[in-house]
């Protein structure tokens, strides 16, 4: 389970490896594999955003770098 104070909280989804494992980006810059349940319990908005971008493309209001 990710701990908020240690800098290893999940900030982004890179891709789905399969239906239960996700390749994720942590706040401290590291990448790793997290379970879908872990991401759903800590940051459910990330899964919705990932699917939205996957099906509809990046949102127009977001600034891309």
What confidence tens digit (pLDDT) does each residue in 55-64 have?
998 877 656 5
CB atoms within 10 A of CB 45: 8
How is residue 30 written in tokens? 């590291």
Sketch the domain layout of the chain as residue ranges: 4-56
| CATH 2.60.40 matches 4-56 | no
Tell me what pLDDT residue 5 has.
Answer: 47
Q: Render pLDDT for 21-56 as a digit per residue (tens, 0 to 9).
A: 999 999 999 999 999 999 999 999 999 999 999 999
Tell me what pLDDT residue 9 has.
Answer: 93
**Radius of gyration of the CA atoms of the chain, in A:** 12
pTM: 0.72
Tell me what pLDDT residue 60 has.
Answer: 74
Task: Say if residues 38 and 44 touch (Cβ distance below 8 Å).
Answer: no
Burial of 13 (0-12, 13-18, 19+ CB in 10 A): buried
Task: Say if residues 19 and 37 touch (Cβ distance below 8 Å).
Answer: no
């Amino acid at each position: 389970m990710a701990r908020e104070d240690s800098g290893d909280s999940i900030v982004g989804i890179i891709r789905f490896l399969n239906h239960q494992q996700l390749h994720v980006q942590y706040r401290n810059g590291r990448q790793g594999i997290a379970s879908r349940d872990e991401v759903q319990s800590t940051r459910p908005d990330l899964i919705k955003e990932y699917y939205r971008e996957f099906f509809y493309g990046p949102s127009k209001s977001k600034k891309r770098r």
